[in-house]
Amino acid sequence: MITSVFISNEKIQVLTGDKDKKGRLDVKACMYVTLPEKAVVNGVIADELGIKESIQKLWDKYNLPKRDISLVIDSGTILNKKITCPILPKASMPNVVQDEFKDVEGFANFLFDYTVIEDGKNGEPMLFANAVGKELIAAYVRVFNGLDIQLSRINTAINAEMSLVAANPGTSQDTEIVVNLDSINLTSVLYIDGKYSFASRSRIIEQRGTEGSRMEIVRALSSLIQFARSENSQKPVKAVYICGMTEAEADLCPKISAMLGCPVSTLPACDNITCTKDKNKAAFLMADYTYALGNML
């Protein structure tokens, strides 16, 4: 069984499920607990005791496993880069990634990882590289170790989202933008032909669900659509997918669609990602548990 955990700025989300031999995912259960206010700020743990109490509450209520837990985290302090590189042995890739971040202040205080975007068979080899602060990781590890819960891996949010986009036939080949709303944070990722191209982060100043916040989202999307045109004018953005909406934002998609002149919706359902064998239930998870779901793939 796969147990995937995402700790956002507002809540802890957990999904459990299984993948079959063909890579099809079926989620068995989803659960969450709301965090104390400001326990996590921009993905950084500010209240370790509050986080531990929330995790314990969730584990006790649902009798969740304590081993082989896959955690996904998100923070504006995580550095991301798309890297083009020559075809090299796999053993050489970590050094290539580290060299890309060598001019970052506090270089020695980061951990580095990467995902292959393009392996070179159909174009120039490209990597999605991450630099994550050691203390950011250490704080999460301390919390889980203090509860005797064993983490098997730690993933980053955008990397998890990339897995979800690639696994969904409705998004794996298109040029699109995926927007994730988490508290006052807005993360927008541009995919060209289903592959990561660029990500931007901003803060929403106005209260969520208001006209002011909607205009902030529209401005962020307009800028990214313009960037997409400059990057590849032959492949315009075909769709925008919004995740993490609140009840007050129920009409957000049609209103933004009318402003942008572009289809705006939640991520589409697909046959190979289901929830208790129901793909429409899984579509709800794509919209509200985006990172936790992508982390299972």
The string of pLDDT tens digits covering residues 109-138 is 999 999 999 998 888 899 999 999 999 999
Q: 8 by DSSP, 3-state: which?
A: coil
So what's the pLDDT on residue 72? 98
pLDDT of residue 51: 98
β-bridge partners, 129: 81, 114
CA pair distance 35, 12, nearest whole angstrom: 7
User: Tens digit of pLDDT for each residue in 50-65?
Assistant: 999 999 999 999 999 9
Burial of 90 from C-beta contacts in 10 A (0-12 / 13-18 / 19+): exposed
Query: Which residues are CB-contacts of 108 (< 8 A; sequence separation ≥ 6)?
Result: none
Which uninterrupted H or E stretch holds 138? helix 134-146
Listed as ranges, residues in the chain with pLDDT below 70 are none
**Per-domain boundaries in the chain:** 172-266
Class of domain 172-266: alpha beta
pLDDT of residue 284: 96
C-alpha dihedral (23, 26, 31, 36), degrees to nearest 10? 20
In angstroms, how far apart are the furthest CA atoms of the chain?
Answer: 53
